[in-house]
């Protein structure tokens, strides 16, 4: 059994919100709702703070963490919320009764009730794309090349993103926009700046659900636990 996940290199994220826009567009997310939110963390004082210039900030993307032990699945009375073989958490809308127990059980507040359809929705990690060997839309459209997709069982160094150097070469006769989804990729291990596995790799707070998404942050104080 795999555990698909998304890694975000927070030092590379510029807060452009392309991932939010791309997600809403491809998944037809209603106005006022989000499958992926970008939070500004800070500005906050550094440990060596002496002047108003001694501050840090970064952007933190929050969405369904496709947890290893999702509490939303445990509380669903109709088994509409399911943990799949690829590690993602999906919702069978035909079984959802809109009770919102899962919304209340989620520690990250990333589920919502679609008022028109009366079913709960959230990030699917673009299952319609990854099932065909593609990448989630938020990974494809990341302007800072900060987001990577992969299987935690294979280690975060293997996580992949589109190879922008290839995509930017419009004179390449082999180029097609399909390559954004299925080919010419670069791994986090190949692209990432040096990081410390013990101090720079983070997860959102674990409420017993074991969130799967990974965040890398170097040289700044991690505030994700707050």
With contact defined as beta carbons under 8 Å apart, do 195 and 163 qualify?
Answer: no
| pLDDT of res. 202 | 97
With a cut of 70, list the residues of the chain below it in pLDDT. Answer: 164-183
Helix (H) or strand (E) holding 42: strand 36-45
Q: What is the pLDDT of residue 173?
A: 55
Reported as type and span, the H/E element at residue 19 is helix 18-27
Give the whole-angstrom CA distance, residue 207 versus residue 16: 30
pLDDT at 22: 94
So what's the pLDDT on residue 174? 56
Residue 179 has what pLDDT? 52
Q: Which CATH class is domain 4-67+123-216?
A: alpha beta
pLDDT score of 184 = 81
Distance CA 121, CA 111 (A): 6
Q: How far apart are the first and last CA of the chain?
A: 31
pLDDT of residue 215: 98
- Residue 226 confidence (pLDDT): 72
CA-based radius of gyration for the chain: 18
Q: pTM, whole model, 2 decimals?
A: 0.90
Residue boundaries of the structural domains of the chain: 4-67+123-216
* pLDDT of amino acid 136: 96
Query: Is 20:37 a contact under the CB 8 Å cutoff?
Result: yes
Q: Note the pLDDT of residue 165.
A: 60
């Amino acid at each position: 059994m795999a555990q698909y996940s998304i890694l975000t290199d927070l030092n590379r994220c510029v807060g452009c919100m392309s991932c939010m826009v791309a997600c809403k567009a491809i998944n037809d997310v209603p106005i006022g709702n989000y499958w992926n939110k970008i939070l500004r963390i800070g500005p906050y004082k550094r440990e060596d703070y002496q002047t108003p210039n001694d501050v840090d900030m970064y952007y933190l993307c929050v969405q369904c963490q496709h947890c290893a032990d999702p509490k939303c699945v445990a509380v669903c009375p109709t088994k509409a919320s399911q943990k799949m073989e690829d590690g993602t958490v999906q919702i069978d809308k035909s079984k959802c009764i809109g009770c919102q127990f899962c919304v209340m059980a989620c520690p990250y507040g990333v589920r919502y009730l679609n008022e028109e359809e009366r079913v709960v929705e959230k990030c699917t990690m673009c299952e319609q794309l990854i099932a065909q060997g593609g990448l989630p839309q938020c990974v494809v459209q990341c302007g800072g090349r900060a987001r990577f997709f992969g299987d935690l069982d294979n280690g975060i160094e293997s996580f992949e993103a589109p190879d922008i150097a290839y995509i930017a070469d419009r004179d390449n006769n082999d180029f097609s926009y399909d390559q954004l989804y299925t080919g010419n990729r670069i791994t986090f291990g190949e692209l990432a700046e040096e990081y410390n596995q013990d101090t720079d790799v983070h997860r959102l707070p674990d409420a017993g659900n074991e969130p799967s998404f990974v965040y890398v942050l170097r040289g700044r104080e991690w505030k994700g636990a707050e």
